[in-house]
Chain A
Amino acid sequence: MNMFLENLRLAFSSLSANKTRAFLTMLGIIIGIASVIAILTVGNSLTMSVSTEMQSMGANNVTIYVDKKDVVQEKRENGIVFGKSEEDHDMTEDDLITDEMIYDMMKAFPDTVEAVSARMQMGAGTVTKATDTVSVNVFGVSRGFFVENKLTFLSGEPFSAAELGGARNVAIVSDKFCRDYFGEDGSSCLGREIDLSVNDMSITCTVVAIYEYQQTMVMLGQNTVTNLYLPITTAQNLNHSKNYADMTVVTKVGVDSNQAAKELKDYLNGFYRSNPYFEIDTYSLASLADSLNEMMGTITTAISVIAGIALLVGGIGVMNIMMVSITERTREIGTRKALGASTTHIRTQFIVEAMIICLVGGAIGVALGLVLGALGAKILGYPASPTVGSVLIALLFSMGIGLFFGYYPANKAAKMNPIDALRYE
């Protein structure tokens, strides 16, 4: 302990004796460690931003849709093999997902399914008031839709069972629509009747709820068309269709949505076994998030390898300067040996010195990397910091570099012949 503290003191006094040289030597280590830490920070920030984005898009959603079966090959008379072309089989009402299937599925997976969001796209519609018209996108939706999309209700509530079951003429509109249409503050349009035209049909419906319109980046500045929601049953009546081409299942918290996507697909395909052309396919955003994370990991690794090369070069720089330092201090080494220092004493002294150079360089690198990383993360908009573990690993790694590249020069110093060392000019 005595000796160790003394070695630390020696190392620091040797560093402070040659500040410029020590700094230049450390530079390689500083750059290497700083880039690793900065990249880890930015990487964490990116990963966080991706997963946050995914979460808001619904990482626990499983999208279920009707898809064509793998192309069935058909041998024609002339022997040429054709794939079935798309027009050959249009999706008919019978190929779609029915309410019964959804009901059965919900019964079969009570622990997986939180809500089912079925959606029917009606297309563009207009709401007329005297001479004014306001455009809307019209959708028929189930209750689950509001769970899936996490809409914020300013007033009113999602469609009730009665409204859905009775296929009532009710609508949920955005606050933006209210302002555009009534020129008023949002809540006062609740309960008003509006005349909606969609697909050459007209209905009069009552506004039962108003949701908060979230302006997205893409839409910024444009005069946007907001969504108007009707009960799915009302939409079915208007469209003369009862079934769905796609739906979204919101899985319960803690359910692996990748796994759920597979199970639901297998279950629903039970209904399609006899269907020659169509089947059910599913995907979850979680799987997309996974592959994005994996990609981030690959990029991080690649840049870390480059940083590793910087550290290697830095380490060689440390070794070089240690060789110079040892040559300069040959007489000191000889004196120490004459005074009773063993080879171990001398070796330890110089290894500690090399390790301190690298450790100080590593610490400066960590500080610089944290600053750069924080800046990068700020630009990306997601504050993030590298884990304490990665900072510790960076510091340990830089000490390791000191040990590795300091050993050879230190050993050379330790093996010096004291007579020659004392006589060295």
Chain B
Amino acid sequence: MDSRKVVIHLSNIYKRFYIGKPNELEILHGVSLDVYDGEFLAIVGASGSGKTTMMNLIGLLDRPTEGEYIIDGVNVDGASDKELSVIRNRKIGFVFQTYNLVSKTTALKNVELPMLYAEVPRKERTERAKAMLELVGMGDRMKHLPEELSGGQKQRVAIARAMVNEPAIILADEPTGALDSVTGRTVMDLFHKLNKEEGKTIVLITHSPELAEETDRIITLKDGNIIGERAGKGKS
């Protein structure tokens, strides 16, 4: 296991808010975690456990107060905002609970968006976006607007968007949280397929123990500490 490449290396991460104020708050108390290439990892925990903060830090939407974070060989400590946006663009694919597709913009254009910021030429953008939509089974809905798609379809477009720049990891925050169980199932199946067949590294953040069980490894957070780590059923 240790011979595999480490994609995410978190070492002794602290996150505090309202620093220096009377209401100073420490959310993460020295968390360490390695995520390996091709792994399907779940981070579980009740609300208030620090999951969201953890995901913001991994997703580089926020910076740790203390500790070391290396993503795909890049130490993000001291990176400027502009550099962080480039790292986000190339190394991380977000999948949100509420899809966050850009409205009034077709599925195809939504998938092209990360490549636009990566300054991929127009023609290549369209080709890659089409291929990615085919992969997630949305090849026949490319010209549809988000408003014209069902929740499950939207989430599949969002997954295509997350993968299109070939990121080091896909960071999925409660991806099935807004879906009914049947649709949620198809989305989870898609994640499994991408993990197994495409070798994608996926970090799933969820409060659902059942979904977490399907993954390779489950990390349990409680009150800002990792209190447990075990293999899931997905591990074979």
Output the nearest chain B residue to A17 by Cβ-Cβ distance.
Answer: B104
Q: Does A3 contact B (CB under 8 A)?
A: yes
Q: Does B113 contact A (CB under 8 A)?
A: yes
Q: Does B230 contact A (CB under 8 A)?
A: no
Q: Which residues of chain A are within 8 angstroms of B117 by Cβ–Cβ distance?
A: 336, 339-342, 345
* B61 engages A338 (CB within 8 Å): yes
* B119 engages A3 (CB within 8 Å): yes
* B114 engages A419 (CB within 8 Å): no
Chain B 114-163 interface residues, beta-carbon cutoff 8 Å to A: 114, 116-119, 121-122, 161
* A340 engages B89 (CB within 8 Å): yes
Instruction: Pick the contact of B88: A3, A6, A331, A338 (CB < 8 A).
Output: A338
Chain A 9-68 interface residues, beta-carbon cutoff 8 Å to B: 13-14, 17
* B86 engages A340 (CB within 8 Å): yes
Q: Which residues of chain B are within 8 angstroms of A331 by Cβ–Cβ distance?
A: 100
With contacts A339-B89, A339-B161, A418-B61 known, is A6 near B116, CB below 8 A?
Answer: yes
> Using an 8 Å CB-CB cutoff, how does the interface string of A313-342 with B read, 1 for contact, 0 for none?
000000000000000000110111111111
Chain B 58-112 interface residues, beta-carbon cutoff 8 Å to A: 59, 61-62, 81-82, 85-86, 88-90, 94, 96, 100-105
Q: Does B56 contact A (CB under 8 A)?
A: yes
* A338 engages B116 (CB within 8 Å): no
Distance A106 CA – B123 CA, assembled complex (angstroms) = 80
* A422 engages B96 (CB within 8 Å): yes
Instruction: Pick the contact of B116: A3, A17, A334, A344 (CB < 8 A).
Output: A3
Output the nearest chain A residue to B94 by Cβ-Cβ distance.
Answer: A338
* A339 engages B88 (CB within 8 Å): yes
With contacts A339-B88, A340-B114, A343-B81 known, is A419 near B61, CB below 8 A?
Answer: yes
* B114 engages A332 (CB within 8 Å): no
In the complex, which of the residues B61, B82, B96 has the most CB atoms of chain A within 10 Å of its own CB atom? B61
Output the nearest chain A residue to B164 by Cβ-Cβ distance.
Answer: A339
* B114 engages A342 (CB within 8 Å): no
Q: Which residues of chain B are within 8 angstroms of A418 by Cβ–Cβ distance?
A: 61
Output the nearest chain A residue to B88 by Cβ-Cβ distance.
Answer: A340
Q: Which residues of chain A are within 8 angstroms of B86 by Cβ–Cβ distance?
A: 340, 342
* A13 engages B104 (CB within 8 Å): yes
* B113 engages A419 (CB within 8 Å): no
Q: Which residues of chain A are within 8 angstroms of B59 by Cβ–Cβ distance?
A: 338
Q: Does A78 contact B (CB under 8 A)?
A: no
Q: Which residues of chain A are within 8 angstroms of B103 by Cβ–Cβ distance?
A: 332
- How close is A96's CB to chain B, nearest CB, in angstroms? 87
Can you pick out 19 interface pairs between chain A and chain B where the beta carbons lie within 8 Å of each other?
A: A2-B121, A2-B122, A13-B105, A332-B102, A335-B100, A335-B102, A336-B113, A337-B61, A338-B88, A338-B100, A339-B88, A339-B89, A339-B114, A340-B88, A340-B114, A341-B89, A345-B85, A419-B61, A422-B100
Nearest 6 A-B pairs (CB), nearest first? A340-B89, A335-B100, A340-B117, A342-B85, A339-B114, A418-B61
